[in-house]
Amino acid sequence: MTGMSRRRVFGLAGAGVALAGAGAAGAGIDRALGSAEATTDVVPFHGQHQAGIVTPAQEHLHFAALDVTTKDRAKLVSLLKTWTDAARRMTAGREVGASGAVGGSPAAPPSDTGEALELPASSLTLTIGFGPSLFDDRFGLAGRRPEALAELPAFPKDKLDPARSGGDLCIQACANDPQVAVHAVRNLVRLGFGTTEVRWSQLGFGRSSSTSTAQTTPRNLFGFKDGTNNLKAEDPAALDEHVWVTAADGQAWLAGGSYLVARRIRMHIETWDRTSLEEQEQVIGRTKGSGAPLGQQAEFDPVDLHVGGAGGEPLVPVDAHIRLASSESLNGAKILRRGYNFVDGSDGLGHLEAGLFFICFNRDPRKQFIPMQKALSAKDAMMEYIQHTGSALFAVPPGVSESGYWGDTLFEG
């Protein structure tokens, strides 16, 4: 009965009837209960590129960085295969193991932890990355480290917490239901027990950038539309230029992959909230209401960095965020942003601990993220209101074929 869906089990037995017997029968069951959504909210796992990069940004994030605790390469490869199979299942809305949360032996721990039972796939994507530290002497990968995969340099005003930085591996889980994203990370972490452990983890909500022209531009916790000029899924030529690594870039195993930069950016929202509307708009370089660039009328009007005001000063100030981050100021460099807002409780000093968990994908951080962040950290007026408290860089391998596994081009090539 492998492949029978939980929907069908319920359909046969009648909704609300106890699952007696369904457990034993339920190998390969879907989680969702007859929701029409369940068939339409699955993002394909296989493909040339990993999902979760140009996939229209979902509403919720659970990001985990892990360290590998074994020195046994075979054990690591075995875990990557296990993870890939688990990811195939969970992104399809299925339980992580064949016997699921209730279908195994009562005397054994269930193969799925169960908290996503009845929940649809929720557009879950799982995206893996490999940190620079994975390419040390433990796994024989030193010769396969791309030159671009080096620790990020220190930037001015960084205040990085080592407990929120780095990692041998990362898993980015995005979904339209946070419980589905949390379930996925938790079950992968569980499968990694004895091989990996969680180094740090971050939840996020309210996607801070859209990655598709079909999405409206969301607002960050400064209250501004964020990511208006982001690269979009509908512009494959730009993605080829700015996101996807090619074999000619250096390491053939990474062709079709990308680099993920994660920066935990604490926002000093209390200070920001005491700033005038005019100052806020000057810092960003856009109007707060419509999101139009200063000097323009509507959100998607092209940014004009040269248009001057009455006094001759540029309407987009010299230290405005959108000027310094613009491709025009960065020799054409662009990135694909995919971050999320966060609130992590309070800071012990009477304030909310809130900000932006910045994620971007780029083809070569040395030419894209690093020069951008150098410019921003040195000159951006916004730096007065933010602090980077976590940082990590990962090489994101290409997509997986139906017979492949995460990282196969790295380990098998």
Percent helix, strand and coil across the chain, each to the nearest 5: 30, 20, 50
Residue 297 touches a copy of itself, criterion: CB under 8 A: yes
Using only the alpha carbons of the chain, give its radius of gyration: 22
Residues 125-154 that bind a copy of itself (CB under 8 A): none
Residues 6+ apart with CB under 8 A from 32: 6, 7, 38, 93, 118, 119, 120, 121
Near a copy of itself by CB under 8 A: residue from 22, 124, 152, 372: 22
73-91 helix and 178-191 helix, angle to the nearest 10 degrees: 150
With CB under 8 A as the contact rule, the residue among 118, 136, 234, 240 that binds a copy of itself is 118
Q: Which stretch binds a copy of itself (CB under 8 A): 182-190, 318-326, 378-386, 405-413?
A: 182-190
Q: Which of residues 312-371 bind a copy of itself (CB under 8 A)?
A: 341, 343-346, 348, 350-354
- Cβ of residue 200: shortest distance to a copy of itself, in angstroms? 5
Tell me how far the alpha carbon of residue 328 is from its chain's centroid. 26
Q: How many angstroms separate the CA atoms of 269 and 288, rounded?
A: 15
Q: Which CB sits closer to a copy of itself, 53 or 284? A: 284
CB 175 within 8 A of CB 119: no
- Of 61-69, 128-136, 253-261, 325-333: span binding a copy of itself (CB under 8 A): 61-69
**How many residues belong to the site for a copy of itself (CB under 8 A)?**
83
Q: Which of residues 151-170 bind a copy of itself (CB under 8 A)?
A: 163
Closest approach of a copy of itself to the CB of residue 172, in Å: 15
Amino acid at 201: S
What is the spatial distance between Cα 8 and Cα 13, in angstroms, rounded to a whole number?
A: 8
**SS3 of residue 343 by DSSP:** strand
70-78, 96-104, 124-132, 372-380 -> range binding a copy of itself (CB under 8 A): 96-104
In terms of CB distance, is 113 or 327 closer to a copy of itself? 113
Q: What are phi and psi of 371, to 5 degrees?
A: -60, -35
Binding residues for a copy of itself restricted to 209-238, rule: CB under 8 A: 216, 219-224
First to last CA, the chain: 36
Task: Quote the least distance from Cβ 65 to a copy of itself, whole Å.
Answer: 9
DSSP for residue 189: H
The vertex-284 CA angle with 281 and 285, nearest 5°, equals 75
* Choices 231-239, 240-248, 293-301, 400-408 (CB under 8 A): range interacting with a copy of itself: 293-301
Minimum Å gap between C-beta 315 and a copy of itself is 14
Q: Which among 287-295, 321-329, 330-338, 359-367 is the span making contact with a copy of itself, rule CB under 8 A?
A: 287-295
